[in-house]
Structure formats: structure tokens, C-alpha cells
Amino acid sequence: MANQDLKNLAVEYLIETTREVKKIASRGEGRQVLGETINRPEDLEIGIDRIGEDILENLLKKHKIKATVFSEPENRDIKNGGEIYGSVDPFDGSMLYLRGFEHSWYTALSFFDKKREPLCCGIADIINEKYYFTEDDGNYLVSMKTKEKKKICPATRKKLTEPIVLSSYIMSSQYSPKFLDIFGDLIINMHPKGLFYPHGGSYIYAFLASGLIDAYVMFNEPRSEIDPGFPIAKKAGCQIISVDSDGNHQDYQFIPGRQHDKVDLLIAVSTSELRDQLISHYVKKYAEKYSFKS
């Protein structure tokens, strides 16, 4: 199977899901609660989450592509054989949609080979009808309305004291206390023209790949919020790493079937200099707050 077949399917998925979600949203539908999300007390599966999964399953049949695609809700993985893996976030923004916010609606899809290396990745901005996508020569932002295609690149800032944009999802108490405990002083002391973007999820890697943010930091990040989107940032040369309390780090890797596991500390950055400074800050603060003194 040619890689181009996967790319064509992914683009078709992004466009079809965007159009169908907007139709459902315009009718005020898709807010029925279908169940809890495994290992995610802050999240729920709602009706609108099923749209992308159904579209993807049909497209895999249409294009005769055999793959195992992992999704966020329990027992909603798509399994039809083959040596291709996929990861999908059918609707990133469920809790906002459930509460009536027309803000931050995305869907993300990635495919991986049998060695777990990324093959392609796409992230759709549903509200603005645009999608971010990996190509052989880099990443692009494409308008669904006009077909305009623009190459995107990550930011190049190297110091935390510069006017960076730092991001972390702290809209839930499941994530905010530890982040603010360790990194809260960074926000307080940010450059006056810097920004703290208090959101995240699978779509945030499009922001990192396109230079909208410089760094994304998360404690206890579910893999289901990483796998569908991180390959686009990796393609851009950004670093997505897991970090332990001693400051040791390793590149984040997709692991099939582990989407419900969590990463203790995830750092995704546009430059190695910012990576090193964030790790140093973490190690210092962790030692101050959690190490036992004799």
C-alpha cells in the first residue's frame, strides 16, 4: 500500500468530519452523554465524538486499507487487520461543546507503520474549516474553502525570558494543581509580551508545528491526547519528550493499545534550548517541594 493512499484517506477524513460536525452542531445535536472516558474522570464521551469514528471506519473500507486504529473511548478501536496502526481523536473539545462553547473544536488523525514510526498526520480546525497536514517536504496549513495551501514552521525562540507562548491544559483540576505548583512562577514572571495559553490536547501539536506556541507542558497527559497529533510537530523538528524527576528525558514513542496510559511529565518544545531550561526548572522545583530533607 502506498503512503499516498493513507494521506488521501486522512485528508478526506479531516474534510468530511469537519463538514459533518458543523452540520450536527448547527442543529444543536450531539450533546447526549454516552459514557465515561476510561481513566479520565474529567472527561465524557458524548454523541458528537462518534461522528469522526464512523466516518473513519467507512473510509478505511472505501479505500480498502487494513489498519488498527486506536481511539479515546473504551471499546471504540477500529480493527480490520493489516500492519498499519492509527490513532484518532474524533472530536477534541467535547467538554467545551457539551457546555455550549463554540471554541476549540478539532479532530486529529495519525498513521504509523509496523515499527511505530509516523507515516502521516492531520489536524482539522473544525470551526475555521482549515487543516494542518504533513507532507514529504514539511507541514502545511490548507483552507477547506479556498484550497489555499501555506507552508508552516515552528518558532525559534531559545530563552524562557523571551516573549514565548507557553501552553498547558489547566481547565480541569485534574491537571492544574501540579502544573501551577511547579511552573506557576514561570507564568507570573513571563515576559510582558509573552502569553500563557491554558489549553491543549491532540490539536496543540499543530500550534507547535506552526509557531503559534513555543512549548507545551503537561503532567499526567493521557496518551490518547498525544498520539493523534504529535507526529506533525515531530515532522517539524520539534521535540516531544517524557521527563523523570531527575531530569532524564527520552523521546516520546507511540505504543499501540496504550492510549489510556498517562505520561508523568510531557514537554513538547520548538527548540532544544527551551527544552533544557524547562527541564532544569522542573528538577529544581521538584527537589525544593518533594525531596525529603534529612
**Which residue numbers belong to the known binding site for Mg(2+)?**
72, 89, 92
- Listed in sequence order, the residues at least 6 apart from 18 whose beta carbon sits closer than 8 Å to its beta carbon are 107, 124, 126, 129, 131, 144
One-letter identity of residue 250: Q
Distance CA(107)–CA(93), nearest Å, equals: 9
User: Which string of DSSP letters, residue by residue, matches 104-172?
Assistant: --EEEEEEE-TT--EEEEEEEETTTTEEEEEETTEEEEEETTT--EEEE-------TTSS-EEE---SS
Of 128, 130, 118, which Cα lies nearest the Cα of 238? 118
The widest CA-to-CA distance across the chain, in whole angstroms, is: 65
Residue 136, judged by CB atoms within 10 A of its CB (0-12, 13-18, 19+), counts as exposed
Beta partners for residue 110, in sequence order: 87, 121
Of 261, 233, 59, 69, which Cα lies nearest the Cα of 155? 233
10 Å Cβ neighbour count for 58? 12
3-state secondary structure (DSSP) of residue 95: helix
Q: Rounded to whole angstroms, what are the CA distances from 237 to 37, 117, 202, 206, 231? A: 32, 15, 17, 12, 10
Annotated binding site: 72, 89, 92
Give the strand pairing for 84-92 and 106-112. antiparallel
C-alpha dihedral (122, 125, 126, 127), degrees to nearest 10: -170
Distance CA(210)–CA(155), nearest Å, equals: 7
